[in-house]
Structure 1
Amino acid sequence: MVQWSEYVRADGTLDGEKVWRREPLYQGMNGRYVERFYPEKTGPGYIFKALTNGKNPEREAWIYRHVLDSFPPIYPRLLASSEEGAGEAGWSIFEDLGPLRHEFRLELALEVVKRMAWWHAFPETHWRGLGSSGPKPPIEQIAAEMGSRREEMVLLLKEAGLSLDPAVLDKLIYGFTEGTFLSTFRVLSHGDLHLGNYAKGANGRLYILDWEHAHLNSPFWDLYHLIDMSHPMFPKRLRRSEREKLLDYYIKQSVYHGRKWDGEEFIQGYCRYAALFSLWMLLLINGDLERGDSVWPKGRLLAQWAETLANLSGCLDRLSLDGGDVKEPSGRRRVVGGDI
């Protein structure tokens, strides 16, 4: 029987002297790496994950034991993890799924939506012990922050060539701070379902990775991260028709699992949610660019900015379809307004 802890130092990092080869896959916000390692020259590889964030290091192992144990096999198997109480020296070892390509394809995103609608169909009481804290602030807090930075946001958009009617911005902000657009229930949320956290393995099966941020939230949270959330290391180009197809498919799959939505009302609600979240993301990215201290390269941040702005524009235009006015004047400036 393999003693996985023998490959890990006391500080929770991989012991390079005890493995044949190691390959860094990505670096966490705290500077530690997720790595592929090979204990022997002729044997299989495994994935070593040191604690890469400041959250509870036992969280992902807890999710595996109490949440994913009832799931179909759409996640990499957890082979070992540090003992409870390891703190910043926490670690996990997973099966190696082989090289993964994180390229946006509509067919694969639809498959993720199908699985998502299934896990969203469980009542929140099914997930006992699961909290509501995610890797980013809840939408109510985002709305409150946007309200305090309203003028900054208007100026930032104007400089970017997108002139947003202040009345539209107010409706987005204060609708959420007052709870107008929020669901009355919560569902299991993956928490961080961006393009880098799902892919097809070498066996052709869908795998959804990195469940340590799973929590209870609105169904819009997972949908936004899948559809409109940008990431500096995993860029994608989303057509507006693809957004519509993904949302329509989610609604249809929800019905299959016993949850019915008013289609147009759901899509309008999503676009309000996504627009507000994207506005907040623009402020976040702009802050990283101005400070110049981000772990992400400047070129990646600029690409993320452009992707977020395009997604915001798409959601605002979709909201305007119910009678609002979207004008395309000459030049690159866009004017987005209307009754949302």
Structure 2
Amino acid sequence: MDNQKDIIFSDSGEVTNGIPHSKEIIYVGRNGNRIERVRLELKAPITSYIYKPLTNYSSIGKEVWVQEHISSRIPEVRVPQISYYSKSNDPEHYWMVLEDLGEVEHPFGVDVLLKTAELIPYWHRLPKELVPDAFMGHSPLVNELQLFFEEKSAVMKPILEKHGFTSDELAYIYGDMLTLLPFESETVISHGDLYPLNIAEIDHELIIFDWEYIHKNSVFWDLYSLMDITSPQYRRPVLDQTSRIDVLTRYLTARQKLEFPTKLSFIRDYHTFSALYTLWLLVLIEGDLAHDKHDRSALLQQQQESIGIMKALLNYLMSV
């Protein structure tokens, strides 16, 4: 099929006129662009590809860059192959054609989180200098939260009190947790968006999708995305604390096997990092509710998930 690509696809990434095909929308990106499965009805059995325009305009070219500079360095990690892509530098007209892995599920089960934790060290151990400084993620870096919390100080405590955080929890947040900013942690190459909908398992092999947010970040960001980040766009089962520790331990064990050690305080530091971001999200959600951003019921569900996560993180931090 490779030698037929120039015949099959036009410069816009669409299938050339006259070639019978069908399309199926897989999902819609943050900017409204549709990612589609395209089935080509040729003489050979039907061949299908995934057509992906940019879902985030600032990420133009990043996934191709990952294929050319990162994927070959982490053969242990399965990344969907990009077969064809636009040569345009115009985000409105940029697209990729990726291999179709078939119908995949994106489970949030603990077993998938554990398996993913074993893979993360393979890209975390790569020299971070591989990734250009210009590559950015979709959220502020941890030390950028300090200014946010200062600006929101008048509303933050009432939000926490309204949601049932105790005086002891508030004392810990203000007297201990927030005083740790600026927060020191190891900087690594980060996938950038490693939440479970970007992970699939096919025939007992994990596939890691959507690397367009690759950048340099804290060692904890990918783990936070994997376990504790929430969104109004999907439901996040709140991890029990035993499972959270198990995932972190699995990550640490994989690092040790790669002779890639980390600090003894890693597990505690992760909980602090995750709590800082969960506090940030709780304040953002309150603002989104006030301004009718997103579906209200989805925001309320995200809020309850975030409260449950924050409570679990604080319970751990206040007990060790």
| TM-score, normalised via structure 2 length | 0.89
Question: Matched residues in 2 for 1:266 and 1:17: separation?
Answer: 58
Judge conservation of contact 1:193–1:226 (CA < 8 Å) in 2.
yes
Paired position in structure 2 for 1:334: none
CA distance in 1, matches of 2:214, 2:17: 31
**1:169 to partner: Cα distance:** 2.9
How far apart, CA to CA, are the structure 2 residues paired with 1:275 and 1:5? 52
CA distance in 1, matches of 2:15, 2:244: 41
Alignment match, 1:2: 4
Tell me whether 1:35 sits opposite 2:36 in the alignment: yes
Q: What one-letter code is carried by the residue in structure 1 that aligns with 2:139?
A: K
> How far off its partner does 1:17 sit?
8.1
Residue-by-residue CA offset, 1:42-89 (whole Å, 9 max, x unaligned)? 412211111111214112111211111222151111111110523321
SS at match of 2:305: helix
2: distance between equivalents of 1:91 and 1:144? 37
Counterparts in 2 of 1:169 and 1:102: CA distance versus 1, 3 Å: farther
1:31 shift after superposition? 1.1
Q: Match for residue 91 of structure 2?
A: 87
Aligned AA (2:184): L
Percent identity of paired positions between Structure 1 and Structure 2: 28
Equivalent pair of 1:82/1:90 in contact (CA under 8 Å): yes
1:307 lines up with 2:305 in the alignment: yes
- 2:66 — aligned with what? 63
2:241 matches 1:243: no
Match of 2:27 in 1: 26
With over 3 angstroms needed to count, the CA separation of the structure-2 counterparts of 1:128 and 1:24, relative to structure 1, is: closer
SS in 2 for 1:321: coil
2:184 match: 182
Distance in 2 separating the partners of 1:312 and 1:133? 26
Give the secondary structure class of the aligned counterpart of 1:46.
Answer: strand
Q: Is the 8 A contact 2:190 2:216 kept in 1?
A: yes
Secondary structure at the aligned position of 1:30 is classed as coil
| CA shift for structure 1 position 162 | 2.1
Distance 1:124 1:5 in 2: 39
Q: What does residue 292 of structure 2 align with?
A: 292
Kindly provide the amino acid, as one letter, of the partner of residue 258 in structure 2: H
What do the CA deviations read for 1:303-329 (whole angstroms, capped 9, x no partner)? Answer: 22211111111111110112xxxxxxx
**1:159-191: per-residue Cα shift (whole Å, max 9, x none)?**
222234155235333422xx3x312x4111000
Distance 1:142 1:93, change over 3 A: same
Superposed displacement of residue 6, structure 1: 5.1
Partners of 2:207 and 2:157 lie apart in 1 by 40
| 8 A Cα contact 2:131 2:189, kept in partner | no
**Counterpart in the other structure of 1:153:** 156
**Of 313, 316, 327, which residue of structure 1 is paired with 2:314?**
316
Q: Please point out which of 49, 53, 72 is paired with 1:50.
A: 53
Q: Does 1:169 align with 2:174?
A: yes
- Number of equivalent positions: 312
Q: Contact conserved, 1:58 with 1:84, CA < 8 A, in 2?
A: no
Contact 2:85 / 2:95 at 8 angstroms: preserved in 1?
Answer: yes
Q: CA RMSD in A?
A: 2.3
* Superposed structure 1 runs of 4+ greater than 6 Å apart: 12-17
Q: Is the 8 A contact 1:196 1:234 kept in 2?
A: no
